[in-house]
């Protein structure tokens, strides 16, 4: 008996209800639903995700749910909001000294603090070497994330990331937004920027009112089970 796509979607509705809104790919396939049908199943094109920094708006851009746009809000360069010590000002292309070496850095917050330093060349080695000194600098009372950046052209940046509390990181959404916003503020780029990082490319759009949108692809990584004690 042939089963229509809409009938498969109804079957997915029932499965989601039975499993409290969480499904593994293996469960779907075991129910006779092939992956292409599963990937086309999108309940809502727009939804919100609650984070520690507040609610963010997410929009699914295709029927396979493989590309999403996220409203990341607005950035602030104000020192008291980042925070950075000293008089209240926008921290743009300022002189800093890390590990006895002078740098020009731009700092901003997009829910968490970021320090952006432009260099002629960027690498994992450079991020690992500089990152701990930036993270724990006296000027940053709540510690700091670091992005070292290289301008390719007015629409592309290469970045490497050091994340406070985690160390070297291959990709970061807020880090990508911060790097793009700093580059745009400094006049290095246009308002649409591709951020290239070891974990993949993210497209950043900066609207006239300062709102930052992040667009990227998603894909299957793995099936996994987590013990209930993990959430307690």
Per domain, the residue ranges of the chain are: 1-41, 73-217
pLDDT of residue 33: 74
H or E stretch at 174: helix 173-185
Q: Look up residue 115 and give its two tokens.
A: 């320090």
User: In 151-181, which positions are buried (b, 16+ CB within 10 angstroms) versus exposed (e)?
Assistant: beeeeebbbbbbbbeeeebebbbbbbbbbbb
pLDDT at 154: 98
The more confidently predicted of residues 173 and 12 is: 173
Token representation of residue 5:
């796509």
> Dihedral of the CA atoms 159, 163, 169, 174 (nearest 10)?
-60
Top-confidence residue, 26 or 131: 131
Contacts of residue 217, Cβ cutoff 8 Å, sequence gap at least 6:
66, 67, 68, 200
123 token code pair: 């690498």
Q: Of the given ranges (46-55, 153-162, 175-184, 210-219), which has the lowest mean pLDDT?
A: 46-55
Residue 151 pLDDT > 90, yes or no?
Answer: yes
**Cα(155)–Cα(203) distance, rounded to whole angstroms?**
10
- The domain over range 73-217 is classified in CATH as 3.10.310.10: yes
Structure tokens at 81: 């909001």
Q: What are the pLDDT digits (tens) for 70-125?
A: 999 999 999 999 999 999 999 999 999 999 999 999 999 999 999 999 999 999 99
Tell me the mean pLDDT in the region 45-68. 81
DSSP 8-class letter at 7: H
CB 81 within 8 A of CB 109: yes
Judged against a pLDDT cut of 90, whether residue 60 lies above it is answered with no
């Amino acid at each position: 008996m042939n089963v229509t796509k809409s009938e498969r979607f109804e079957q997915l509705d029932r499965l989601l209800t039975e499993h409290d809104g969480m499904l593994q790919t293996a469960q779907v396939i075991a129910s006779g639903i092939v992956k292409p049908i599963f990937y086309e199943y999108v309940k809502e094109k727009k939804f919100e995700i609650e984070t520690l920094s507040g609610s963010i708006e997410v929009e699914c851009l295709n029927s396979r749910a493989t590309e999403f746009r996220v409203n990341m809000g607005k950035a602030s360069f104000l020192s008291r909001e980042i925070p950075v010590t000293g008089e209240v000002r926008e921290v743009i292309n300022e002189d800093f000294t890390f590990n006895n070496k002078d740098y020009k850095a731009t700092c901003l917050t997009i829910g968490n603090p970021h320090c952006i330093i432009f260099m002629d060349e960027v690498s994992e080695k450079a991020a690992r070497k500089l990152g701990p000194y930036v993270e724990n600098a006296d000027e940053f009372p709540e510690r700091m994330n670091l992005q070292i950046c290289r301008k390719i052209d007015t629409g592309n940046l290469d970045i490497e990331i050091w994340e406070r509390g985690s160390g070297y990181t291959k990709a970061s959404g807020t880090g990508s937004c911060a790097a793009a916003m700093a580059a745009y503020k400094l006049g290095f780029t246009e308002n649409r920027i591709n951020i290239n990082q070891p974990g993949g490319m993210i497209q950043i759009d900066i609207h006239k009112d300062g709102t930052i949108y992040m667009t990227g692809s998603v894909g299957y990584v793995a099936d996994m089970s987590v013990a209930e004690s993990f959430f307690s």
